[in-house]
Structure 1
């Protein structure tokens, strides 16, 4: 698995970086949604 990721970074670094940024944005939005949910309960 790690070898595949390293290969992907060497072959297409722009695509790999975009994917990591998209995953980060998705996680951030999910965390903000959970925070908003719990804040609205109080």
Structure 2
């Protein structure tokens, strides 16, 4: 049973390292596309936050 837990931890660690490697590869191989993606994510988060703020202010208004 303990060995199964160890394998799960190693799989999580490996998945994390693979994810980091893919992100680094994407940033190095296509920095313009990576910057655009980050910009789109930030715009989405900003828009989402503004929507939540508008909702809350309308509820308590």
Q: Distance in 1 between matches of 2:56 and 2:33?
A: 35
Scaled by the length of structure 1, the TM-score of the pair is 0.96
Structure with larger RCO (C-alpha < 8 A, sep 6+): 1
Verify: 1:19 aligned to 2:45, yes or no.
no
Highest Rg: 1 or 2? 2
RMSD: 0.4
Q: Distance in 2 between matches of 1:14 and 1:27?
A: 20
Residue by residue over 1:13-34, the C-alpha shift from the partner in whole angstroms, topping out at 9 and shown as x without a partner, is: 0000000000000011000000
Task: Please identify runs of 4+ aligned residues in structure 1 that moved more than 6 A.
Answer: none
